[in-house]
Amino acid sequence: MVRIGGRLVGLDVARCLALLGMMGTHVLDARTPTGGLTLVHLVAGGRASALFAVLAGVSLALMTGRATPVLRGADRRTWAVYAAGLGIRALLIAMIGLVLGALDTGIAVILTYYGVLFCCGIPFLALRARTLAIVAAAWVVAGPVLSQVLRPELPERGVESPSVLQLTDPLQMLSELFVTGYYPVIAWMPYLLIGIALGRLELRSPQVSAMIAILGAAVATSALVLSTWLTGRAGVAGTLADELGLPAGTDVFRAIESGMYGNTPTGGSWDWLLVVAPHSSTPFDVAQTLGSALLVIGLCLLVAGALPPTGVVATAVFFGAGRMTLTLYTLHVVMRIPQVPPADTPGSFGWHVLVVFGIGAVWVALGWRGPLERLVGWPFEQLRRLTRPNPPNPSAPSVPGSPTPAG
């Protein structure tokens, strides 16, 4: 039986769209026969994974008090319990990512980075939305700049995805997770911080949802326009093309529009920080993908919030994959192994969509929780009970002069 309860179905829709976009960029060709970007990569390239990360921050906020942070002014015991529960959850997600990273899939698996990012967000959970937004805005610039300084001093990335095979070299793994990898935490923290800030807002309010969508559109558009203007200055394109070793006359911005695998060239020109390209981790890339994520989340909340009760139930079932993205993302990755059908061709995308949407709809319709969601959530749920006051025992004798509990 479908259970909606107090869920924000719009967030589930946004999670489902993030999963769909990531699957599309994994399976479908990036270029058309004429050399241009395909529609899926044009829309979802770099943006789907950013949306995934922002929604991780929203989940953190929803688990820790929504608009009223549980950890704001909390005692050490409460902090310890929440930090332990969330830390174990993050570790389990990261371990799933490490196992998937060892498979022959051709995918840069995000889950290990996601787990580390999740863990890094714990110290910020006592902050209010405005403070989080300010910190995130500063980090949009500071993170990529720090990466530009640090990467020449660090070893080059050795693998596409962190895996259990790298546990023998923890320093190399940490370098990749935080700085040199495909989803470097040092540059991706603004996504999580803005997500936590969103979760502190009244997301059921249509006015708040509209504000989020409008702000997102403004940030994304401004980042694209400003980047285009700055990279259009004399000499910038030529410098970047030379550093990539492109033939004379090649459009460097078209060459990088399909993605840069996590970072700009190590030790390259500081002009690289001006570009917008998927997975380049520049300030403008982070800003425009962050704005796109806000736009999608705001619109999903608006549309879902305007539906009648029957429409909400139907939407919750149809986009049920959004309630179990960890399980279904893992299944999608496993389906990319050569030994597991379907065959790895662009035509297999329909099968991925059918399997993911079908399982998600059935699970939600039956009121079940995703198996991996249950696994990673169990420790946090058990530990969180330690912070709840014990209910009064009605059979215990009353103590004269003891205060009466407030109603």
| pLDDT score, position 401 | 34
Average pLDDT taken over every residue of the chain: 91
Task: Tell me how crowded residue 105 is: count the other CB atoms within 10 A of its CB.
Answer: 21
The answer to whether 30 and 40 have CB atoms below 8 angstroms apart is: no
**Core vs surface per residue 136-152: b (16+ CB within 10 A) or e:** bbebbbbbbeebbebbe
**Domain assignment present for 287:** no
The answer to whether 176 and 116 have CB atoms below 8 angstroms apart is: no
Summarised one tens digit per residue, pLDDT across range 68-79 is 889 998 999 999
Summarised one tens digit per residue, pLDDT across range 52-105 is 999 999 999 999 988 888 999 899 999 999 999 999 999 999 999 999 999 999
Average pLDDT, integer, range 234-258? 92
**Domain assignment present for 162:** yes
**Domain assignment present for 73:** yes
Residue 201 — left, alpha, or beta (φ > 0 → left; ψ -120 to 50 → alpha)? beta
- What residue numbers bound the domain in which 319 lies? 9-203+306-385
Instruction: List the end-to-end C-alpha distance of the chain, in Å, as a whole number.
Output: 33
**Domain assignment present for 263:** no
Structural domain count, the chain: 1
Task: Inform me whether the pLDDT recorded for 35 exceeds 80.
Answer: yes
For 289, the enclosing helix (H) or strand (E) is helix 283-305
Q: Give start and end residues of each alpha helix (H) in 64-205.
A: 76-101, 111-120, 129-150, 170-175, 185-199
Q: DSSP assignment, residue 405?
A: P
| pLDDT score, position 134 | 97
Angle of CA points 375, 122, 131, to nearest 5° = 140
Task: Inform me whether the pLDDT recorded for 403 exceeds 80.
Answer: no
Average pLDDT, integer, range 266-295? 97
The answer to whether 273 and 283 have CB atoms below 8 angstroms apart is: yes
What CA–CA distance (Å, rounded) separates 7 from 237? Answer: 48
**Domain assignment present for 315:** yes
**Domain assignment present for 13:** yes
Summarised one tens digit per residue, pLDDT across range 114-144 is 999 999 999 999 999 999 999 999 999 999 9
The beta strands (E) that lie in 198-267 are given as: none
| pLDDT score, position 396 | 40
Task: Inform me whether the pLDDT recorded for 112 exceeds 70.
Answer: yes
Share of the chain above pLDDT 70, in %: 94
| pLDDT score, position 343 | 83
**Domain assignment present for 393:** no
| pLDDT score, position 344 | 82
Q: Which backbone phi and psi does 37 adopt, to 5 degrees? A: -70, 140
CA torsion, ordered 355, 358, 362, 368, to nearest 10 deg? 50
| pLDDT score, position 406 | 34
| pLDDT score, position 3 | 61
**Domain assignment present for 216:** no
| pLDDT score, position 83 | 94
Task: Inform me whether the pLDDT recorded for 2 exceeds 70.
Answer: no
